[in-house]
Amino acid sequence: MRGAAIAVRELRHTYAGVTALEGVTLDLPAGGFTALLGRNGAGKTTLVHAICALVRPAGGDVIVGGASTADSPRAVRGQLGIVFQDPALDARLTARENLDFHARLYGVPRRERRARVRDALATVGLADRAYARAGTLSRGLKRRLEIARAFTHAPRVLVLDEPTTGLDVQSRHRIWACLDALRARTGVTLLLTTHRMDESGDADRVAVLDRGRLCALDTPDALRARSGGGALRLTLTDADTAAEAAARLPGVSRRSGATLWLADGDREAVRAALLRDPAVWQGVTSLDTGAPSLEDAFLDLTGHETGAAQDA
Amino acid sequence: MRDALIRLRHDLAAAHAVWRREVIRMARDRGQLVGAVSRPVLWVVIFGLGLSPYLGAGFTGAPVGYVAYILPAIVALNILYPAAQAALGTVWERDAGVLRALLAAPAPPWAIFAGKLAGAATIAVAQGLVVLLLAPVAGVSVTPGGVLAALLPMAALALAFGALALALAARMRSVVGFGVFANTLILPAFFLAGSIFPVAPAAGAAALPDWLMLLVHINPVTYAVDELRWALIGYRQLDPVLARGVLAAFTVIPVAAAAATAFRR
């Protein structure tokens, strides 16, 4: 692991009295892939905007490749390639023209521009659509074009804010393949925000953000292991049945919708209780002791609310 | 010193990129192109030629015909529309997040603003020149020297109005219809510029009401139209020093105000 590509120090920010970030400290190792995981409103986008020097934080600092966003935002911006949450392509320009415009904006020398644009389009598999107007591309292709655009100027860090939101499975897989290829080829540092646990699984490290605080920073495996390894998971017919069962079974550690998690270690007692209570037993639709998913870990870390809110 | 020069070169390259993009986008906007041609045709042919027997009454004894008189004003009108349209595009860009992507680039906001304004002005001047194709219809013979002389007031009007519209657009939080721009800014500016009625009625013609004359003299576009008339048909009704002074101030003030407020990150 080389030095930090981005160092976030005690970052604080509020929007009109609402706290978005509450003292976040985070290092992104150069060449690494960090996923920033959090539900909607956790502060992910604010953190991204602070890193891109688009918001001036209320406190703390962000250092990108040795340059501070507060003192030299220009040096910071030049090192970043950004894919924003909202698509931001120029529909009337062709794919190639969109990238060419971006390269000019980022001061890519004229003699390199053409080759850079061509390479970027090829990397995301859009070489054959170079002369198509961006407005005519499908949503998945537009996303890929935006990723291509973000690295046209050869940034050190690629920041992607929920790049796969609203895309179908095939498009998502294509985007992952593009990012893998890009990392393998250029060794670019990747920071990606998502609210999808399955997407964080490919990252070197997952940073979990909740209500403006960093509540975990670890490898996906370590995070999985952290959440009560091998807990028993019961799924019942509906949330009401689950609520009723929760009241009657021993060792229920959490309930989310129609699913109950039972603390590890006391399986005999649980089994006995289940057999003793046919009313509960009949409501059980599945029971498994599989390895904890990253989703379990995430809910363990951030699951304040019970019930449906967590399922959304 | 050397760093500062390199930086300035990058900033100018960024401004140039933004300018270039604006022009390409306009060239591909069929709606705007149709408007750029149909608007002058409507005004010069229908309004000018068709209605001049009635509307030209105040021009009895004037040195120029009615259609020739309104032609320079139509040039101004065809500048006001695209300048405002470009500003509206900026509001749309902010809504769509395109503007954020621009502001995340290393280029400073002023370079992006300069590119946008120059782009809007270029498009506006180009559309203004389109009107001159109708000069023969209006009985005006346009000389290359006249066109060159007209370019300066055209560019001044395009920059001033583009900056004004951009400054307003930068404050708008949502996309409003173009009609709002047209009705509150463009049409009053056009009608109150002595565009279709004489600023100084000929002797014997009915005098226009004082309040109307006051509004006409307050409106800076009046002076731009007067300059354009002088350049294109060799006729003017206002004092040239006053007209040029007003036009210069009308260009500098909105541009400075817009540059100071627009495109903060």
Q: Is B25 at the interface with chain A, CB within 8 A?
A: yes
Instruction: Indicate if the pLDDT at residue A270 is higher than 80.
Output: no
**Which chain A residue is nearest to residue B29, measuring alpha carbons?**
A92
Chain-wide mean pLDDT for chain A? 84
Cβ-count burial of A263 within 10 angstroms (0-12 exposed, 13-18 middle, 19+ buried)?
Answer: middle
Instruction: Give residue-wise pLDDT tens across range A80-89.
Output: 999 998 888 9
Distance, CA of A307 to chain centre:
23
**In the beta sheet, which residues pair with residue A194?**
A37
Phi-psi region of B133 (alpha: psi -120 to 50; beta: other; left: phi over 0): alpha
Q: Which of A235, A211, A215 is nearest to A226 (CA)?
A: A215
Instruction: Indicate if the pLDDT at residue A310 is higher than 80.
Output: no
pLDDT of residue A227: 63
Q: Is A72 at the interface with chain B, CB within 8 A?
A: no
pLDDT of residue A19: 84
Q: Looking at domain A4-218, which of 3.40.50.1860, 3.20.20.80, 3.40.50.300, 3.40.50.2000 is its CATH number?
A: 3.40.50.300
Contacts of B95 in chain A (CB under 8 A): none
Contacts of B18 in chain A (CB under 8 A): 105
d(CA B221, CA B67): 19
Q: Which residues in chain B come in under a pLDDT of 50?
A: none
pLDDT of residue A121: 95
pTM of the model as a whole: 0.82
Q: Is A82 at the interface with chain B, CB within 8 A?
A: yes
Q: Which of A310, A311, A297 is nearest to A206 (CA)?
A: A297
Q: Any residues with CB less than 8 A from the CB of A303 and at least 6 apart, and which?
A: A254, A256, A310
DSSP state of B255: H
pLDDT of residue A256: 78
Which run of H or of E encompasses A191? strand A189-194
Phi-psi region of A99 (alpha: psi -120 to 50; beta: other; left: phi over 0): alpha
DSSP state of A13: E
**Which chain B residue is nearest to residue A79, measuring alpha carbons?**
B106
Instruction: Give residue-wise pLDDT tens across range A183-194.
Output: 888 889 999 998
Which A positions 100-129 lie with beta carbon below 8 A of chain B?
A: 101-102, 104-107
Best residue in A105, A106, A133 to probe B by mutation, most B CBs within 10 Å? A105
E strands present in A231-302:
232-236, 252-256, 259-262, 284-288
Judged by CB atoms closer than 8 Å, whether chains meet at A54 and B101 is answered as no
Instruction: Indicate if the pLDDT at residue A99 is higher than 50.
Output: yes
pLDDT of residue B167: 81
* Residue ranges of domains in chain B: 2-261
pLDDT of residue B156: 95
Greatest pairwise CA separation for chain A in angstroms: 78
Judged by CB atoms closer than 8 Å, whether chains meet at A105 and B107 is answered as yes
